[in-house]
Amino acid sequence: MKKNLSISLRLTLVMIVLCAVVYPLVIAAVGKLTPGVGKGQTEKVNGKVVGYSNVGQKFTQDKYFWGRPSAADYNAAGSAGSNKGPSNPDYLQLVQDRINSFLVHNPGIRKEDIPAEMVTASGSGLDPHISPASAFIQVKRIAAARGLAEEKIKSLVDAHTEAPLAGVFGPSKINVLQLNIALDELK
């Protein structure tokens, strides 16, 4: 019995050191090697930080591209999905409300043409990217709100479209914050 207790205590101490000390230090060190040195990738305009390019931002004005909805209200500290399934009446109502809002702000768009990502939150609730289709469907609204030609905005979308990794892995995507910063820089 004493032998088993001694082994259990030593194993517990080893695991505490590994999981509570060594692992966090390794992860922190790896973070220091990433862009933003573990503090996130900030976007600056005129030397002022306007947001993080790797965390979704909330844009609701018609003159900006909108990102994916967030189940966590874009709070990186509370990153999470809603955990509501596709048959949950509250979730269905929330998606319908998002569809209705999108249609009000984007007249002339048909419900079936709205990309699903524009009315459903990502798993983390913080996805900073949208697909090119989700950007192009918003061009008419933004052009009208800013008094710009649609072609000018479409070319901006094309310029900010990131190809899949190595041309194969994942879909094409657009960082919404970076696109909106470029949109504000248009003359």
Written as tens digits, the pLDDT of the chain (187 aa) is: 888 999 999 999 999 999 999 999 999 999 888 877 777 788 888 989 888 888 888 999 999 999 999 888 888 777 777 788 889 999 999 999 999 999 999 999 999 999 999 999 888 878 899 999 999 999 999 999 999 999 999 999 999 999 998 888 999 999 999 999 999 998 6
- C-alpha angle 73-137-143 in degrees, rounded to nearest 5: 95
pLDDT at site 74 = 83
Are both 94 and 21 inside the same structural domain? no
Nearest Cα neighbor of 120 from 160, 144, 88, 143 is 88
DSSP classification of residue 20: I
List, in sequence order, every residue forming a beta bridge with 146; answer none if it has no partner.
Answer: none
Are both 19 and 73 inside the same structural domain? no
Are both 131 and 44 inside the same structural domain? yes
pLDDT at site 56 = 87
Are both 72 and 140 inside the same structural domain? yes
Phi, psi (5° rounding) for residue 51? 160, 180
Are both 120 and 158 inside the same structural domain? yes
- The Cβ of residue 24 has, within 10 Å, a number of other Cβ atoms equal to 10
State whether residue 44 is helix, strand or coil: strand
Are both 96 and 5 inside the same structural domain? no
Are both 73 and 145 inside the same structural domain? yes
Are both 22 and 100 inside the same structural domain? no
Nearest Cα neighbor of 122 from 173, 168, 158, 159 is 173
Are both 97 and 148 inside the same structural domain? yes
Number of independent structural domains in the chain: 2
131 conformational bin, left if phi > 0, alpha if psi -120 to 50, beta if neither: beta
pLDDT at site 6 = 92
Are both 24 and 60 inside the same structural domain? no
Domain containing 90 equals: 40-185
Are both 108 and 28 inside the same structural domain? no
Are both 27 and 108 inside the same structural domain? no
